[in-house]
Amino acid sequence: MALLFLPQGSQDRVKDIANVCNVYCPSSLDSIVVWRESDVIVGFAAWRVMAAEAELLALAVLEAKRGAGIGRQLLEAVLKQWDDQALEKGFLEVRASNDVAQSLYRSCGFNAVGRRSQYYPILGTNNFEDALLMARCVC
């Protein structure tokens, strides 16, 4: 296992990491941390910093690897970056039905601050579900 940090504007050309970066970090303002086992990405977190605030764009772990603490370690690595940059606030959105992720975020200092109605598509249907907005203040 290894955490690999790709800083803002990184031009790392490792194929699998580059694919993740292209999808989740299209801007030079975006950063990503990747959890790799051998040559396989099993999880990653992507975020964007604007002024004194950050937004978690994505946090994902392969289904077969969930429950092993990888998501928590990725999130803690992101939050350390935010703290090192003295960011005042951090934001994220999460599916309203994703109780496991909400619990993780709450345990790391995030609180619910709002809701986006009908935000996430439900795969295989024409339906949508709400997003819960969460924030972490370092004030």
pLDDT of residue 8: 41
Q: Are 52 and 30 within one domain?
A: yes
**Tens-digit pLDDT profile for residues 96-130:** 999 999 999 999 999 999 999 999 888 889 999 99
- Tell me, yes or no, whether 96 and 70 share the same domain: no
Higher-pLDDT residue of 3, 122: 122
The boundaries of the domain holding residue 66 are 1-75
* Candidate list 37, 88, 105, 120, residue with the active-site label: 105
Options 24, 93, 119, 120, the catalytic residue: 93
In the beta sheet, which residues pair with residue 46? 32, 58
pLDDT at 32: 85
Residues 6 or more apart whose CB falls under 8 angstroms from that of 26 comprise none
Residue 83 lies in a domain: no
Is 55 a residue of the active site?
no
Overall number of domains in the chain: 2
Could you tell me if 4 and 71 lie in one domain?
yes
> Is residue 44 domain-resident?
yes
Q: What is the pLDDT of residue 9?
A: 39
Q: Is 24 among the residues known to form the active site?
A: no
Question: pLDDT for 18-56, tens place per residue?
Answer: 566 566 565 655 788 888 888 778 888 989 998 899 999
Beta carbons of 4 and 33 less than 8 angstroms apart? yes
Domain boundary among 75, 102, 129: 75
